[in-house]
A and B are shown apart, each in its own frame.
Chain A
Amino acid sequence: DTAVSQTPKYLVTQMGNDKSIKCEQNLGHDTMYWYKQDSKKFLKIMFSYNNKELIINETVPNRFSPKSPDKAHLNLHINSLELGDSAVYFCASSPVGGHTEAFFGQGTRLTVV
């Protein structure tokens, strides 16, 4: 039974398009995140939500809009995709913010052509 699942696993799209990535966790965690991993493997936090409320927005362009309909789901919508958005996007969740282990989803490899 997958703990943190995100879809799709791969996403290839043209510049200028709008796309969404979905994430769900069945661990009952309060906190969910989006991380971006670039080609150099750097893992950078983008957003953090606690009980559906946005608590961290790490100066991400406003083309990126997260949405949390409930505490088990955190989706990421990206408008007007650019070449530089190509990366692996990881969703993660943790029981208590940064105090405890973050569990990662399998990642979504986004390629913008």
Chain B
Amino acid sequence: GENVEQHPSTLSVQEGDSAVIKCTYSDSASNYFPWYKQELGKRPQLIIDIRSNVGEKKDQRIAVTLNKTAKHFSLHITETQPEDSAVYFCAANTGTASKLTFGTGTRLQVTL
């Protein structure tokens, strides 16, 4: 089955710095890669996603890159703010595309 690895497990950055979270996946047939943000005590919510026919996607301070050959994708957050502090999850769909498999999560702490 699909295996999604995510690094780092914790990340602390100063406000205004950039944060990068990396994921690798195992199923070469995966074609949909969403990123979710989960604030403390809340539900995971989609912040950005990318499909396999695209190498990069940006939405304001957030960008995602995908390298299909190497089977890895990354989340980039620029000009971090305290409200970016949360747990971030990457995910990938399976070859049969019947489910999303999530990475193990990255706890991002943005300090003043």
Contact = CB atoms under 8 A, between A and B. Distances in A.
B73 interface: no
Interface residues of B, number: 24
A45 B99 contact: yes
B110 interface: no
A74 to B, nearest CB: 14
Interface in A76-103: 90, 94, 96-102
Interface string A21-32: 000000000010
B97 A97 contact: yes
Nearest to A4: B43
A50 interface: yes
A33 to B, nearest CB: 7
A51 interface: no
Given A43-B89, A104-B43, A106-B43, A99 B101 contact: no
Interface residues of A, number: 26
Given A98-B94, A99-B32, A104 B45 contact: yes
Contacts of A55: 98
Nearest to A94: B100
Contacts of A113: none
A48 interface: yes
Contact of A101 (B34, B96, B97): B34
B43 A90 contact: yes
Interface of A: 31, 33, 35, 40-45, 48, 50, 55-56, 90, 94, 96-102, 104-107
